[in-house]
Structure 1
Amino acid sequence: MSDPVIKAAGHVHERMAPAILCMLEALGYVAEESNDDYRPFAIKVLSGPS
């Protein structure tokens, strides 16, 4: 059985990564989800606003 706090944190991270990507793209950044297995919800910013 997993700890409810850890489980809730996982759900928040799952939902925040796409939201952050959407905000960055709206601000003109080029970003993508990182494919780093050690940081599954990391965002990689490729370039700043043009």
Structure 2
Amino acid sequence: MGVFSRDRSGSAAGGSRPYICLSCETRFSVQYHACPECGSYDVRHVKWVEA
């Protein structure tokens, strides 16, 4: 699947919130370097975690 074949809702990447903090399990629509909820630096893309 290419970049242009995905829809803007992010359904190809785990819904409208494709990033997740592995510490507090909060989901985000954008990738943060540090989680704004708990401060952890372990924010990953859902497809890297849920394989």
TM-score between the two structures when normalised by the length of structure 1: 0.26
Greater helix content: 1
Q: With the length of structure 2 as denominator, give the TM-score of the two structures.
A: 0.26
